[in-house]
Copies of this chain bind each other. A is one copy, B any other.
């Protein structure tokens, strides 16, 4: 292994991610989009600087997504989430079921296999909390009822998405797809989350108290990271997903007295690892499959177009699920459109398991990118930015950049 070369590649990844993220913001798009584009450009099909199969980069990217979910967990107050109301739950449930059903239908109609269609459909389910929260806070609209519903729904559908991820991950590893098996995996995934949150709610405040007595610089952030990494490992051992463990760790730490210190410390580490995740995901995209002049690509372009339409319409409709809500339902629907990290995780899982070919992987990645591109300008139209927001941004904005 050539460590200096790896360090050089890491320097190039960080440079390209920040430059491209900054350029994306300059044209009114989220930084994450720029990072994906940077990945595509550095990837095997263009410059070939980043090899998305490299084991070191793969590890750093996985560490990045674990830290990202930990950060999102740190922003998620369980009580607020539960109090987010029936409206958010209605949006979340419809916003998972409908995209999954339509996405699955599109794939089946195209003649794809059952399991392949399930993974592709699942990739459409989870709204990106990070991107949505970032856009709403950029608009200065985070405290309005529509935004609260969108955020609540996005968090709930992220949890549902993570559970689907565990079920689907079990399936891609060749486990039997019996209804009993699905119930079992769901029970394990839910069970892990419930038990972890229950035990953690009892233990974590005591641990947080004990840690305060240890005088060692950086001990709080390190202890928090140990919890996040440890629960990520434990989740995997228990048959759940690493990112569920990291997310649970974040939620458990939200209400400790050290939450702000942890958020601050982890943000610095996240700025280093999270872009690596998005760049490595982008680097796995083979842009050649989007070339419409190549007749081999027509199929994936057609499936991709179908998935994009399904992804946009189904989440838009989910905004109307809380029919009793008196506010702007279109805002909710549009706010739910952007897919992000969870969709990309599904895409990568599909590719790694051999279920997705380069074309379908490209189609799903294209869907994530288009839904992410389309939402900010639409939201801006329906939900004009406040004067305040034009002057500058909010706390959550730091999180995902």
Residue contact B1 to A217, C-beta cutoff 8 Å: no
Let me know if A6 is at the binding interface, CB within 8 A. Answer: yes
- Could you give, for residues 1-40 of chain A, a 1 whenever the CB lies within 8 Å of some chain B CB and a 0 otherwise? 1011111101100110010011001000001000000000
Distance (whole angstroms) from the CB of A134 to the closest CB of chain B = 11
Residue contact A222 to B25, C-beta cutoff 8 Å: no
Residue contact B58 to A398, C-beta cutoff 8 Å: no
CA distance A236 to B6 in the complex (A): 12
Known contacts being A4-B236, A6-B59, A18-B216, is A271 close to B11, with CB within 8 Å?
no
Residue contact A217 to B401, C-beta cutoff 8 Å: yes
Which of A153-208 touch B at CB < 8 Å? none
Residue contact B271 to A3, C-beta cutoff 8 Å: no
CA distance A218 to B54 in the complex (A): 26
How many chain copies?
2
Contact of A1 among B59, B221, B232, B234 (CB under 8 A): B59
CA distance A261 to B262 in the complex (A): 18
Let me know if A143 is at the binding interface, CB within 8 A. Answer: no
**Chain B residue, CB-CB nearest to A66:** B7
Residue contact B398 to A31, C-beta cutoff 8 Å: no
Known contacts being A22-B219, A216-B22, A269-B268, is A229 close to B55, with CB within 8 Å?
no
Let me know if A63 is at the binding interface, CB within 8 A. Answer: yes
- Could you give, for residues 287-302 of chain A, a 1 whenever the CB lies within 8 Å of some chain B CB and a 0 otherwise? 0000000000000000
Residue contact A216 to B4, C-beta cutoff 8 Å: no
Let me know if A146 is at the binding interface, CB within 8 A. Answer: no
Residue contact B14 to A225, C-beta cutoff 8 Å: yes
CA distance A330 to B222 in the complex (A): 36
Residue contact A242 to B56, C-beta cutoff 8 Å: no
Q: How many residues of A contact B (CB 8 A)?
A: 53
Residue contact B226 to A392, C-beta cutoff 8 Å: no
Let me know if A233 is at the binding interface, CB within 8 A. Answer: yes
Residue contact B217 to A10, C-beta cutoff 8 Å: no
Residue contact B216 to A398, C-beta cutoff 8 Å: no
Let me know if A110 is at the binding interface, CB within 8 A. Answer: no
Contact of A218 among B66, B214, B237, B267 (CB under 8 A): B267
Which A positions have Cβ atoms within 8 angstroms of B? 1, 3-8, 10-11, 14-15, 18, 21-22, 25, 31, 55-56, 58-59, 62-63, 66, 214-219, 221-223, 225-226, 229-230, 232-237, 242, 265, 267-269, 271-272, 392, 397-398, 401
Q: A7-B233, A8-B229, A217-B401 are in contact. List 20 more A-B contacts (CB 8 A).
A: A4-B233, A5-B233, A6-B59, A7-B63, A7-B66, A8-B232, A8-B234, A8-B237, A11-B230, A14-B229, A22-B219, A25-B216, A215-B392, A216-B392, A217-B392, A218-B267, A221-B271, A222-B272, A265-B268, A265-B271
Report 8 cross-chain contacts, Cβ distance below 8 Å, ordered by A residue.
A7-B242, A11-B225, A14-B225, A217-B398, A217-B401, A218-B267, A218-B268, A269-B269
